[in-house]
Structure 1
């Protein structure tokens, strides 16, 4: 999904929800789900031919067709939420990728995905879990702590990496309790996404 499409969908959903809530607040009586659907349906039909909605015309038509079977208010809320969650995930993954590339350039550590078959004896390598960001968003709705498994050739290499991470000026911060060092020059490092 491109950015103009996403922003158009979110703005469309928010504008229709705001209009619905203003309509409900101005009503002297309780507005039922059927009444809310009728109001939103009327707005959808009016917005179908607007030039600013051209890129989402297909989505508007499908909402109009399904109006009798679905709660349009919930559909608008869910659709906007999906787009916003997708943007959050994309931003977090982009920041994580930038951090890992910068870490490689600044420290010389190689970056590799971690799985059960990974050879962890490679020195000066940072192993990261491939879908850790996505999995944490799926389970909790936000990016949790992210982990790096590090195999280094010396204590000096570990110090270089820790110094780099402690001076981060990005969307990630090194957790105070986030470093575990073993005797065989291996480390587990935890970072927190702060955006």
Structure 2
């Protein structure tokens, strides 16, 4: 019972996903999935999460791979600057442009095609995500942590950062045990809240 109380308190205090904080209504559709990938790209730099979230909100106008690709480098820099993402604005603008082009070339701009290519294999999905410029293994974990809301085949997903947060709160650092503490639609919220705790 204590574990469920701890989890409920955590969800009450910190229980929103990073996507939700960035204004992304995550659905299994190209635009919201792409906006999540942009957020993960921003989070992959050494920058505070709230700055990445703010910049992701500013980049919402380029909410598909095609729109991001069509935007000029300067338009992307300007949006990043409006979100106060100024330290890495130029290199990130370049990475976003290259990432959008990669998605168009390989997946017709639709991350659901990447999902289909992974065919339910989490390791393959994580590897495909790291082919996107700027996204490394940690960024792939953030994406999986968030996208489990709409891609149930990867549930329950608790990366090492989320498991570290569980240990810190005295919870069992085991994905299946943590999943038993919440409903399926709350897994992404719990994983994000735990990661923010670590």
TM-score, with structure 2 as normaliser: 0.31
More helix by share: 2
Q: Highest Rg: 1 or 2? A: 1
More strand by share: 1
TM-score, with structure 1 as normaliser: 0.32
